[in-house]
Amino acid sequence: MLSALTPDFVGAIKLAVKAADFFDFPDSLPFDRSFRADAAPWEWVGLIGSALQSMTPRVPSTPLPPGVHVSGPVHIDPSVQLPHFCTIVGPAYIGPETEIRPGVYVRGNLIAGRGCVLGNSCEFKNALLLDGVKVPHFSYVGDTVLGNNSHLGAGVICSNVRLDGNDVSLRLPSGVVDTGLRKLGAMLGDGAEVGCNAVLQPGTLLGRRSLVYPLTAFGGFLGHDQIVGAKSDLRRLPRRDS
């Protein structure tokens, strides 16, 4: 039972799971001092807003494309091509060579590294995207960390709030830990991939190069180089109408 865990035991679990085991913080992002390698992965989620306080805002001086709305402190690298129709609410940092597609909604506290894809009709809120992250179509990414070169297939949802509204806990091989966070999405290690229309439940932690099959509702911990997915029994029947 979670209530039976002692503070010392919870602290030991945190020490056993380090962000450095899942992510290599890239040189392209000027926030390395904010995200300690020895912190627990979920602790990085709570550091995004404070890290952005050191950011120098920078928005293209040329007229923005039609339908583009930018407000609050925002840094957009000059190499970023803005699409027609998107909303970026700061604080937000968007790194070099990142592609922003039409319909993107940035809802504050976003850090995106080099060469990311912020896809059409995707929403980002309090999220850290390291280099090369691809979120190309119809996803929600909230209170989440996506490691280098990780990928979300079309329609993947990073659920970040429990239905009962309680704090999110993580089920790890070493035990269960209460994160103390009411909102916590997913943490994907470098190179992890999630198939189309999968749902990652609050507090999901995926190891490096792990895979989640399409249409899978998954929560908890998946180790490095592991695959998870559910087999569905498909029925093939002849049509009865003549």
CATH classification of the domain holding 82: 2.160.10.10
Residue 220: phi, psi to the nearest 5?
Answer: 105, -145
**Structural domain count of the chain:** 1
pLDDT value, residue 14: 55
Query: Does 22 reside within a domain?
Result: yes
Strand partners, 38: none
Category of 52 on φ-ψ map: left (φ > 0), alpha (ψ -120 to 50) or beta: alpha
Q: Which domain holds residue 174?
A: 2-224
Residue that the structure tokens 């059409």 belong to? 120
Query: Does 197 reside within a domain?
Result: yes
Helix ranges (DSSP H) in the chain: 7-16, 41-45, 48-52
Rg, C-alpha atoms of the chain: 19
Query: Does 72 reside within a domain?
Result: yes
Query: Does 55 reside within a domain?
Result: yes
pLDDT value, residue 4: 46
The predicted model scores a pTM of: 0.91
Active-site pick, 69, 137, 151, 224: 137
Query: Does 241 reside within a domain?
Result: no
Query: Does 238 reside within a domain?
Result: no
Q: Are 127 and 110 in contact (CB under 8 A)?
A: yes
Is residue 75 annotated as a catalytic residue, yes or no?
Answer: no
Tens of pLDDT along the chain (242 residues) come to 344 445 554 445 555 899 999 999 999 999 999 999 999 999 999 999 999 999 999 998 778 999 999 999 999 999 999 999 999 999 999 999 999 999 999 999 999 999 999 999 999 999 999 999 999 999 999 999 999 999 999 999 999 999 999 999 999 988 899 999 999 999 999 999 999 999 999 999 999 999 999 999 999 999 999 999 988 888 898 988 86
Query: Does 242 reside within a domain?
Result: no
State which amino acid sits at residue 118: L
Query: Does 237 reside within a domain?
Result: no
Q: Which of 201, 167, 181, 217 is nearest to 2 (CA)?
A: 167
